[in-house]
Chains A and B, each alone.
Chain A
Amino acid sequence: MDAIFLQILNGLDKGSAYALIALGLTLIFGTLGVVNFAHGALFMLGAFCAVTLNRILTISSTSIDPTRTDFLGNPMQVQTPYVEKWFGTEFGASLIEWSVPLAILFSIPIMAFVGLAMERGLIKHFYKRPHADQILVTFGLAIVIQEIVKYFYGANPIPTPAPDVFKGSFDFGVLIGYEANTILYPYWRLIYFSFAAAVICAVFAFLQFTTFGMVVRAGMADRETVGLLGIDIDRRFTIMFAIAAVVAGLAGVMYTPILSPNYHMGMDFLVLSFVVVVVGGMGSLPGAVAAGFLLGILESFASKAEVIAILPGINQVIIYVIAIFILLMRPRGLMGRKGVMET
């Protein structure tokens, strides 16, 4: 029982990352009709916003400590971050420690700008081209972004820990009547799940309860009619692209304490997120979210040693097996609408 509970928690956690990325993908596909293979790169860029803020906060002045030596036997150079000099050691250190939560604010304008630049600068030229062209150009863009990040930050994962308050684990066991230390779950993963839920709700609320959202939904349903009513739907869709980029970026920022970011982390998520979108139903936002959580939980269960003992290798293929199964049963995916990607 405790193992099942843990795997469900794991699945929710992994599912929230899939759901956030898939949500952005679906937003872009639903509005602009573009299959954006560079979306994983946006997730990665978000994570590197957190790394960059950490680097900015730790820009240091160098002084020589004659009592210590470095690895070459020369006097040791000691780095003191400017924020510690300016704001006092304690406050400065806590600013650095809280760099990941602070990066949420830092990343929003950056990701919005990246989203706008990407859409206006490149992707808009491919709206009338076949999906295959769109996939090729966005995939190429993803590789270019990856290599740029690698050039500046190297290929190694960069540890970006959460603030000390969030280290450690929450003891679910005690809460539901088990012994202490049987069902532990890290605080930060619980925060990630709650954060993802909040972002998903915010996006849905924005689309459902604002005039802007209403126009966008109308545009998704019938772009031509909305355009004939004199509404500049393209501008709104461009803004939606920026919002999707921000959602992917935030997912990346908050993921950094879970996995040390590296330049190809986006690709690892991208393929799975596409499966999530297809299983959820192309163009369906609730479908993407539901499929994200569903596949996350199933993947977690398939990784249990007992399951692998019965079906070796199932952990590596489960998502695709489920995808095939669902597409055979419901060819448009869980909540797919008629007419999307169909001619």
Chain B
Amino acid sequence: MSKTDFTRRGVLKTGAVAGGAMALPTIFTSKARAFTNEPTGANVTFGFNVPQSGPYAEEGADQLKAYQLAVEHLNGTGADNGMLDTFSSKALTGQGVLGKKVEYVSGDTQTKSDAARASARSMIEKDGAVMVTGGSSSGVAVAVQALCQEAGVIFMSGLTHANDTTGKDKRANGFRHFFNSYMSGAALAPVLAKAYGTDRNAYYLTADYNWGYTTEQAVREATEAAGWNTVATVLTPLGAGDFSSYITPVLGSGADVLVLVHYGGDMVNSLTNAVQFGLRNAQANGRNFEIVVPLFSELMAQGAGENIKGIIGSQNWDWKLENQIGAKYVGTNAFVQSFGNKYGTPPSQSAQTGYVQALLYADAVERAGSFNPCAVVEALKDFDFDGLGNGPTTYRGADHQCFKDVVVVRGKENPDDEFDLVEIVELTPVEQVTYAPDHPQFAGGNLGTCNPGV
């Protein structure tokens, strides 16, 4: 007679012990890792954290397309090599990064700091992302940058323009390719003074969050230095919808210039309202009334339609740079061809900054010979490069901010086609927009030291 000793409890106990024993080696190996999410297999995972819903979803969608293109180029699986051919550093070969095939996970920031942090945390803890990149809001960038610093991964920010990202909220593990509020102010002030005179009276409508504050301050200080007077600064709630009640007091205020420190849908709405209320055709103080939008984007120009015509603003990059300004901005055409052939539209500046950040990270890893965040930080520090569409550029070690020329643009009066919405007015040379790391607009922050995690 045979008797089996199997009981339900017995099986469960044995299973638990066996499971624990099998998990043991990974627990030990994870302890043995030198830094957070050290890639051990044949692949390495990048985390693309972009707004896929919310007011900046369109910028996020374009950015994600660019990241996917970057992954193809890094792995050598694309139809061409994009900017790899024009990039001054030749460390990347299209064979992956350090011989590992690049994979990616994407998350939705929803343009909300808490959602963006949750999505970045999930990419780091669950998906094993070795770096996080992307975003289209400074509030989100600052929040995710702080998280990446704590977690011990590199954060290559996306579209973030507030001074704070590389100012009072800078972190050693965070890097910004996009330009900032100070640079917009410094680039715009001379152009505005030349176009509209040095004795203008400006009225500011400012988005009520960190980007709005620093951009208003930067443009105000730069234009006041050029002789302008500030009549009033009014904070407007994010997503106000109809701005008419903020626009109507402008004409009677003694101002002859309206500066709209708004971005995305808010900018489209406030500009549309301003044009509807006749500000574009109005006269004030005996002169034509003018409107200025410090931070432009092609996607916003599409939303604003013909209201954008003749309005001056600044951009980080424009897809027409190489054709219209010259070979100094090499890389632009390679990227536009690559992106245009794959997706059928020219890339936005949001796409370009994302693509470039992905390449810069991969290149730094390749040059450092390691995915260790501290090695990457060393490789990016004071790194001079060219051929990525913005002309000669430096990643300054003191604050991890890129320094390059700034594009001043104007809404085009007679567009050739649906993509030809802005014309390039001037390229402000990098020297004119460079500032000391301890400039008052950037004061109060501490870069700290790199954190490899674990």
- A-to-B contact residues, CB < 8 Å: 2-3, 6-7, 10-11, 13-14, 17, 68, 70-72, 76, 147, 150, 154-159, 161, 168-169, 181-182, 184-186, 188-189, 258-260, 262, 264-265, 268-269, 299-301, 303-305, 308, 313, 315-316
Indicate if B310 sits at the interface (CB-CB under 8 A).
Answer: no
Show 27 residue pairs from A and B whose CB-CB distance is below 8 angstroms, ordered by the A residue. Answer: A3-B249, A6-B249, A7-B245, A11-B245, A71-B346, A71-B417, A71-B420, A72-B340, A147-B53, A150-B57, A154-B61, A155-B56, A156-B265, A157-B303, A159-B303, A186-B278, A258-B276, A259-B241, A260-B272, A264-B55, A268-B241, A300-B245, A303-B249, A304-B249, A305-B234, A315-B246, A316-B208
CA distance A185 to B336 in the complex (A): 43
B-side contacts of A186, CB under 8 Å = 276-278
- State whether A155 touches B55 (Cβ < 8 A): yes
B443 contacts the other chain (CB 8 A): no
Most buried by A among B236, B245, B346: B245
Q: Which chain A residues lie closer than 8 Å to B251 at the CB level? A: 181-182, 184
Q: A3-B249, A161-B305, A268-B239 are in contact. Are A188 and B276 (CB under 8 A)?
A: yes
Q: Are B337 and A72 in contact (CB under 8 A)?
A: yes
Q: Give chain B interface residues in 240-265, CB to chain A under 8 Å.
A: 241-242, 244-246, 248-249, 251-253, 265
- Which of B234, B253, B276 is in CB contact (< 8 Å) with A308? B234
B235 neighbours in A (Cβ, 8 Å): 308, 313
| Most chain B CB within a 10 A radius of its CB, from A155, A181, A265 | A155
Contact B303 A156 (CB under 8 A): yes
Give B283-320 interface residues, CB cut-off 8 Å to A: 283, 299, 302-307, 319
* Cα A101 to Cα B329 with chains together (Å): 46
In the complex, the answer to whether A154 meets B58 with C-beta atoms within 8 Å is: yes
Query: A182–B234 Cα gap in the complex (Å)?
Result: 21
Q: Which of A14, A161, A184, A264 contacts B277 (CB 8 A)?
A: A184
Specify the chain B residue showing the minimal Cβ separation from A168: B278
Q: How far is the CA of A258 from the CA of B244 in the complex (A)?
A: 9
Chain A residues with CB below 8 A from B55, complex form = 155, 262, 264
Q: Which of B123-159 contact A (CB under 8 A)?
A: none
Q: Which residue of B lies closest to A155 (CB)?
A: B57
Which B residues from 43 to 58 make CB contacts under 8 A with A? Answer: 53-58
Scoring B53, B248, B299 by chain A CB atoms within 10 A of each residue's CB, the highest score goes to B248
Asked if B97 is at the interface (CB within 8 A of a chain A CB), the reply is no
Q: How large is the interface on B (under 10, 10 to 19, 20 to 34, 35 or more residues)?
A: 35 or more
Query: Does the CB pair B278–A150 fall under 8 Å?
Result: no
Q: Contacts A72-B337, A157-B265, A159-B304 given; indicate if A10 touches B241 (C-beta within 8 A).
A: no
Taking CB atoms and an 8 Å cut-off, the chain B residues in 202-252 that contact chain A are 208, 232, 234-237, 239, 241-242, 244-246, 248-249, 251-252
- The verdict on B349 contacting chain A, using a C-beta distance below 8 Å, is no
| The one of A72, A159, A300 that contacts B341, using a Cβ cutoff of 8 Å | A72
Give complex CA distance A10, B54 in Å: 28
Chain A neighbourhood of B346, CB < 8 A: 71
Residues of A within 8 Å of B385, CB to CB, are none
Given contacts A155-B53, A155-B57, is CB(A258)–CB(B242) below 8 Å? yes
- In the complex, the answer to whether A13 meets B58 with C-beta atoms within 8 Å is no
Query: Residue of A at shortest CB range from B246?
Result: A303
Q: A262-B265, A305-B232, A305-B253 are in contact. Are A159 and B305 (CB under 8 A)?
A: yes
Bound together, the chains give a CA A228 to CA B149 distance in angstroms of: 70
Interface status of B69 (Cβ within 8 A of chain A): no
B416 within 8 A of A: yes
Chain B min CB distance to A161 (Å): 7
Contact (A260, B303) CB under 8 Å given A14-B242, A169-B277, A265-B241: yes
For A303, list chain B residues within 8 Å (CB): 245-246, 249
B451 on the interface (CB 8 Å rule)? Answer: no
Min CB gap A152→B, angstroms: 13
Pairwise interchain contact A70-B417, C-beta atoms closer than 8 A? yes
A71, B305: Cβ atoms under 8 Å?
no
Nearest 8 pairs of A and B residues by beta carbon: A159-B305, A155-B57, A303-B245, A300-B245, A157-B303, A156-B58, A186-B276, A169-B278
Looking at the assembled complex, report how far the CB atom of B158 sits from the nearest CB atom of chain A, in whole angstroms.
16
The answer, among A150, A268, A308, A313, for a CB contact under 8 Å with B53, is A150
Q: Which of B56, B248, B306 contacts A10 (CB 8 A)?
A: B248
Chain A positions within 8 Å of B268 at CB level: 157, 159, 260
CA distance A305 to B11 in the complex (A): 74
